[in-house]
Amino acid sequence: MPAKQIQTFHLDRLDTPIGTALLVTDDQGLLRALDWSDYEARLHRLLRRHYGDYVLDKVVAPKDITAALAGYFKGDLGRLNTIKWRTNGTPFQRKVWSSLQKVRAGKTSSYGAFASRLNVPNAARAVGLANGANPVSVVVPCHRLIGADGSLTGYGGGLARKEWLLAHEGAEFKRQRI
């Protein structure tokens, strides 16, 4: 039996208004993960879950990815749609992640409504779990799913980031009480 190939990815950091983003890319210039420096342990958990053993080399991320993210954070919200990404995951997870890109900036959906849109109306929890396992946050806009009452619910990068992202996009939601 041949030994399993260890995946090699590239790691770069990008300063944003909401913290330092960790960008994981591959040799083809595709984004494989985006998380936050204060959640680096989560990034490694997701990478292990999706790819098994891996190595991260410090390499500058492709300019098209960093330019698109910088543009998004400066207000050009459509720039996220130009970023090419690839993930592993179950077929259901990939279906959720792909469909999340159809929720336009400035709009939100509840987990239940989103599950119904996927023709699995009783799968709000499964949608939530897939959403929480999204390795390319912001680009695959998991922050756009909120509670049925408009409240913010879990976000892997923290609710303060979710609130900032939604406010940045002009979405309506119930603000957190501090």
State how far the Cα of 63 lies from the Cα of 35, in Å rounded to an integer.
18
State how far the Cα of 151 lies from the Cα of 50, in Å rounded to an integer.
30
The β-bridge partners of 174 are 151
Q: Which residue spans within 28-101 are E strands per DSSP?
A: 31-36, 54-58
Structure tokens at 15: 């300063």
Does the annotation count 84 as an active-site position?
no
DSSP codes joined into one string, 159-178: HHHHHHHHHHHT---BPPP-
Catalytic residue among 47, 142, 146, 166: 142
State how far the Cα of 100 lies from the Cα of 136, in Å rounded to an integer.
11
State how far the alpha carbon of 127 is from the alpha carbons of 16, 19, 52, 147, in Å: 28, 27, 23, 12
Residues marked active site are found at 142
